Amino acid sequence: MGRLSGKTAVITGAGSGIGRASSLLFAAEGASLVIADKMDSVNETAKLVAEAGGKAIALVGDAGEEAFVESLIGRAVSEYGGLDVVWANAGISGGWTTFDEQDAAFWAEILRVNLIGAFLAVKHASRHMIPKGKGSIICTASVAGIRSGAGGSPYSASKAGVINLAQTSANEFYGTGVRVNAICPGLIETGMTQPIFDGARARGNEDKIGQLNPLLRGGVPIEIANAALFLASDESSYVNGQAIVVDGGLSSSHPVVRRKR
């Protein structure tokens, strides 16, 4: 029996990176999936899941639009007869821009996708989970939401909001059995961070990627997917309202010059 056998899961941002790795892992562990992304590549993810013997329905849409999120959740319930896990993983970075280059519209779009999108997933998932008395909702935050230095200002603010959303909504669902947690990835090689990795490789200093964390490397999507699998499974039944950091130890220290032992 897989760790998610008999469970129905929804994953957004599933067209690549962390979302694709998680879709493959969740399906391998027995979950029936409804996956979404704004890019058509989500269909390729569904194909990969099917080729591996899993079940996945792919939908293309905007995870920051309420009508789409509601339909996504509804499709999982109507197709599989219930809802056990929702991972609000979709997000955008906005790149690195100075305050002078930013405006209210730029901030609003990042907050809409990253924070309001997570809120919408929590809202519509909980409506189906509360009557059952259980369910796991996971939101993708970031180490950028903990402190400065891991992303631009609007991105970091949006991810700080996601961490707080996990905490406040977990308490909003007091006594319902519905759990809400966040995952805070560090530097993971995905489409969002690819320019960092590609630039380092082009300069011949790939060995410096992740040099600020004790493991001296960047992460890969499956390492975040493994954390999400734990939160999605019954193994984390007493974990609620938490921000689980998966960053190689980066956020455990203040900036300091280190030497290898």
Tell me how crowded residue 249 is: count the other CB atoms within 10 A of its CB: 14
Pairing of strands 135-140, 178-185: parallel
Angle 74-78-79 (CA atoms, 0-180°, nearest 5)? 115
Q: Let me know if 155 is a catalytic residue.
A: yes
For the beta sheet containing 135-140, the strands, ordered from the edge strand earlier in sequence to the opposite edge, are 55-60, 32-37, 8-12, 85-88, 135-140, 178-185, 243-246
SS3 186: coil
Catalytic residue among 80, 155, 174, 238: 155
For the chain, how far is it from start to end, CA to CA, in angstroms?
43
Catalytic residue set: 155
